[in-house]
């Protein structure tokens, strides 16, 4: 007959094995539930990034687009909108609008010259000296006329 002590050890081994099996099954069920979460639910349940001023949202989405495929595409479309809201004229301007009714008739080359001249003037005078823009504009027009006359003389 089997030793009662040996039978008790076998019984405990079975119980331990059954407990381990139950833990494994529970773990697998939990993992399956995690896999069933939608991408949005996974994103919301993940740890949040620390908030700091130099946080680069575009870089974060670039890094995590493989983890959140659909949300990454949505973020790409939504985040870009904020950048394109700015009016085109204000991107050229360092001091208000560059293109008003008078200046809209200027050539692109002249507008570029005016913007560069304004930056140069503000840099030279360090925003303290008063500058007569009409004089600067007249000087640019004179220089353009001289340049155009020299070109026409060549041809």
Residue 43 contacts residue 65 (beta carbons within 8 Å):
no
87 CB-near residues (< 8 Å, 6+ apart): none
pTM for the model stands at 0.32
135 closest CA partner among 105, 114, 119: 114
Q: Do residues 60 and 38 touch, judged by C-beta distance below 8 A?
A: no
Tens-place pLDDT, residues 133-149: 777 778 888 888 887 77
What does residue 51 show for φ and ψ, rounded to 5 degrees? -90, 125
Listed as ranges, residues in the chain with pLDDT below 70 are 1-18, 20-21, 24, 28, 31-37, 50, 80-106, 122-132, 150-155
> What is the sign, positive or negative, of the torsion defined by CA atoms of 145, 150, 152, 153?
positive
């Amino acid at each position: 007959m089997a030793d009662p002590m040996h039978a008790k050890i076998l019984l405990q081994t079975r119980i331990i094995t059954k407990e381990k099996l139950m833990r494994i099954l529970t773990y697998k069920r939990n993992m399956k539930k995690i896999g069933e979460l939608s991408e949005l639910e996974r994103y919301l349940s993940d740890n949040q990034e620390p908030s700091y001023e130099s946080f680069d949202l575009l870089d974060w989405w670039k890094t995590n687009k493989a983890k959140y495929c659909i949300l990454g595409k949505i973020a790409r479309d939504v985040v870009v909108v904020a950048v394109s809201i700015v009016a085109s004229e204000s991107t050229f301007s360092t001091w208000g609008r560059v293109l008003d009714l008078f200046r809209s008739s200027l050539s692109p080359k002249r507008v570029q010259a005016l913007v560069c001249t304004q930056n140069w003037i503000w840099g030279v005078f360090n925003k303290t000296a008063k500058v007569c823009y009409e004089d600067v504009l007249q000087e640019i027009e004179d220089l353009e006329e001289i340049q155009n006359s020299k070109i026409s003389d060549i041809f």
